[in-house]
Structure 1
Amino acid sequence: MESSCSSPGEKLYDGDEYSIELTDDFSTLDGEVGKRLNQMVPVRHVPRINGEIPSADEATTDHQRLLDRLKLYDLVELKVQGDGNCQFRALSDQFYRTTEHHKFVRQQVVNQLKSHPEIYDGYVPMAYDEYLKKMSKNGEWGDHVTLQAAADSYGIRIFILTSFKDTCYIEILPNVQKSKRVIFLSFWAEVHYNSIYPEGELPTLESKKKKRGILSEQFPCSLM
């Protein structure tokens, strides 16, 4: 079975430093997703690297389980590209309402991992420098360690609706909360991440282009 995320490719980012401001413009939309999921009790998050890719049969069953859960809570996925950057694309869409800032998001995550090895080293079963080198590459799959680093870097809560049989809903808390925003992703276990929205609120291509144009004007050095 081919995974929805491809193998790693070139390095993270070549160019000058740039920044993109996280806004609170979407807190109402975040709250609507949260209302639909508040019946569930989230599982405590334990950072870990990726597990084995499931067999074709397991992946099919897992995917259907995820689709059933999305339908149950009237949620829909914004499907992001499966190029190995799916976690970072999904995070980018939730943070900035465009998937195109995925390299910037990866950069923030890697910077967080580099700055605080004492927090994350114990969850990585390999030489930490090698892990950092691997995660710095464009196309390298994100894992639950990078999700924790993203939550910590942005100071934001992340909720994951999963396809795991015994774990429906994972909550990732930042070390220090900096924003009222809440990020919602779906996770087809060990295969793919997407960004999720309330039914009927999925951004249209036209609104995405409009938002991207605004960001281009505000952040001309960003990866558009």
Structure 2
Amino acid sequence: MSEQQDHVSKSSSSSISTSTQESEEEVSVTIGSLLAQARNDKGHSLGRRLLHLGSVPHRPRVNGDIPNVDNATLDHERLLERLGTYGLAEFQIEGDGNCQFRALADQIFRNPEYHKQVRKAVMKQLKEFRKRYEGYVPMEYKVYLKKMKRSGEWGDHLTLQAAADRFGAKICLLTSFRDTCLIEIVPRDLTPTRELWLSFWCEVHYNSLYATDGERLFCLGLLIW
């Protein structure tokens, strides 16, 4: 085979591969969205399970200081105890700096690998509605946006608010805070159409949250099938 033919063959193969990959991604996102919608009642059942806890008003904010090892350990133990008490389980999310967006992607699409799409949507929300969010940022807003759009940059409570607003979702955080077990982040000017459940090991890590009834495994089984 000539060099030119070889190049054409590789180019054609690459094009087919890219097209196939994009098609698979579109199908996966569609299936994930349908599963999430179909199981929205399951999310509401989590809310009913924790209804007696109440929740605190959410104030968007940037990230605070990372706790020292001793406090972080105590926080994690407190979170694990709460998960056990209320029959909840964490779907473990990779700790690569994208954990908030990965956890949201798992809840929305049943696929944490769509974290880039979630971050992009959140950034679009933050840019389009600047006046709604910039007052919560203790730095020049353009600097904040430039920083937050980078893959690996930790999400904060402002990006959670923007995600709630963008996706029309109530985001429920089961936290490791000593005095605050549950935080609810509701979309502004919208009635939420779904609930997204995350665990929050405070200032350290986010995971995706489910009831311990095999729902996540059932969803994964459908996606694989």
Q: What is the distance in 2 between the residues matched to 1:87 and 1:163?
A: 15
- 8 Å contact 2:168–2:194 — kept in the other structure? no
Q: Is the 8 A contact 1:40 1:169 kept in 2?
A: yes
Alignment of 1:153-192 (within 5 A): 153-177=166-190, 179-192=192-205
CA RMSD of aligned residues (A): 2.0
**Cα distance in 1, alignment partners of residues 70 and 215 from structure 2:** 29
Q: 2:67 aligns with which of 54, 58, 68?
A: 54
For 1:195, the equivalent position in structure 2 comes to 208
Determine whether 1:143 maps to 2:156: yes
AA partner of residue 67 (structure 1)? L
Structure 1: gaps (5+ residues): 1-15, 215-224
- Give the structure 2 partner of residue 43 of structure 1: 56
Superposed counterparts of 1:17-96, under 5 Å: 22-23=33-34, 24-96=37-109
Cα displacement string for residues 85-129 of structure 1 (whole angstroms, at most 9, x for unaligned residues): 000000001111111110000000000000011011010001100
Against the structure 1 CA distance between its residues 189 and 27, is the aligned structure 2 distance closer, same or farther, given a 3 Å change threshold?
same
Give the AA of the match of 1:160. L
Q: CA deviation at 1:181?
A: 1.1
| AA in 2 matched with 1:46 | R
Cα distance in 1 for partners of 2:83, 2:92 equals 13
Matched, 1:100 2:113: yes
Q: 1:54 to 1:174 in 2, by over 3 A?
A: same
Change in 2 beyond 3 A, CA 1:83/1:209: farther
Q: For the residues of structure 2 that align with 1:207 and 1:46, how far apart are their CA atoms?
A: 33
Task: Please state if 1:120 is matched with 2:123.
Answer: no
SS in 2 for 1:174: coil
Normalised to the residue count of structure 1, the TM-score between the two structures is 0.82
Q: Which one has more relative contact order, counting CA pairs under 8 Å at least 6 apart?
A: 1
In the alignment, residue 155 of structure 1 is paired with which amino acid?
G
Deviations 1:22-41 (A, max 9, x none): 44222122122112111111
In 1, Cα distance between the equivalents of 2:212 and 2:73? 23
User: What stretches of structure 2 of length at least 5 have no aligned partner?
Assistant: 1-21
Conserved in 1, the CA contact under 8 Å of 2:110 and 2:219?
no
Shift of 1:173: 0.8
How many aligned residue pairs are there? 196
Contact 1:36 1:74 (C-alpha < 8 Å) held by counterparts: no
Q: Letter of the aligned partner of 1:122 in structure 2?
A: G
Deviating above 6 A after TM superposition, structure 1's stretches of 4 or more consecutive aligned residues are: none
**Distance change in 2, residues 1:178/1:103 (3 Å):** farther
Is 1:208–2:215 an aligned residue pair?
Answer: no
